[in-house]
Structure 1
């Protein structure tokens, strides 16, 4: 029996089969879970196509985390497909190109990055909460925000806000027996990474700095960590950031 046997999971962010979210969905199905995916707008057809590469083709529902109506109706629309949710994967991030220039980024650019990449964790968790029983799990993906990384700029600030949001969610959802944790993955060649100008700077040095080494083309280690946190194997862990980066976070320069 798989570690996610009988679980019902909502997974966001499946755009390509190279994405961490895709591999979380794949592992979840292999471990016995029922999976529902989200997408919206022009990317719906892309997600529906990629979904057919999973062991079982899941339902894809529309969810734009910047659309309050989508959030308000999420639970009712999910009830058409599942009778509850045991876990949610937040794999959502976006910043306009202007946000990748720290000194010149406008508030319009920055506020968009903060809404989509940080506030949406709270928004998604609250929207899913009516379907989550005790023991539910919210898991998000981050890129370690302790440092001022090259090229990351306002997206790095958004990730710092994201990590703080996770801690406050852990505080407020803990009494409802819902856990909230993040996986801080090393750089992976995903659609999101390709949208960041100069992201190859991370790729060039990460393997050299990682004690365990690092493969920018392998999303599976991070996906396994997400699957474990969505399972019942971490019943007393919340507000945590689990690093899956080959050990870079623990090393000096």
Structure 2
């Protein structure tokens, strides 16, 4: 079954083969898509190396979503490889150390601003940079972590995720007339490079082990990746502004 046959998909945030983004890229290729990756700076070589582990070689485009010059030149860089885009995956998030780990009341605005810019505003920046590349319709899919409650040690990253969720809804409203869908996958905790930077990540694992009605495996990024690929496909033609939970059902359970 080729869910993405002939589609051109840009996937951001591939750093290791354990990441959700990597498995999105892999499954998208297996479902017939032409996949491009993006990376920047010190991790560009890492992404390029990991791209070699995909079923098919994937070009890596340099893109720092906080750099307006990179955003302005994205169209030309993409057009070097494909004639247009049908979808983009936003798998980008970062908060400085001072914004995590139980330091919520003492975090500086500078650290908060960085977390918000990279983790939330970038969804808008990336989407708008891709709009000229979208053809007749397109799907924007972002990766989320449930922001309806306060999580231990997650602090300003949790606030940034709440901003990401709100941003996705406003983008859905304003890009809908262009037939561009904007949705999020709220995944349960996965042991990725990003997770390792969160103090007390093991506390998340404990919550999911105790509360998930469907058994949850923190080493398995495939369920979340499959959800993202489904949203990139034509099987959700009238779904936008939505948050799809791929978390074993924890979001629906009480204490």
TM bucket normalised to smaller? over 0.9
Q: Would you say 1:132 and 2:134 are equivalent positions?
A: yes
State the partner residue of 1:86. 86
Equivalent of 2:194, from 192, 195, 217? 192
2:153 to 138, 144, 151: 151
Q: Equivalent residue for 2:120? A: 118
The count of residues paired between Structure 1 and Structure 2 equals 253
Matching of residues 1-253 of structure 1 within 5 Å: 1-100=1-100, 101-253=103-255
Secondary structure of 1:18's counterpart equals coil
TM-score (norm 2): 0.98
For the residue of structure 2 that corresponds to 1:133, the secondary structure is strand
Spell out, residue by residue over 1:191-246, the C-alpha distance to the aligned partner (whole angstroms, 9 max, x if none).
Answer: 00001111111012212200011100000000000000000000000000000000
CA RMSD of aligned residues (A): 0.6
Does the 8 A contact of 1:135 with 1:235 survive in 2? Answer: no
Per the normalisation by structure 1, the TM-score is 0.99
CA distance in 2, matches of 1:205, 1:165: 27
CA drift at 1:134? 2.5
Partner SS, residue 122 of structure 1: helix
Contact 1:90 1:140 in 2 (8 A): yes
Q: Give 1:113 deviation, angstroms.
A: 0.1
TM-fit CA distance, 1:133: 1.7
Unaligned runs of 5+ in 2: none
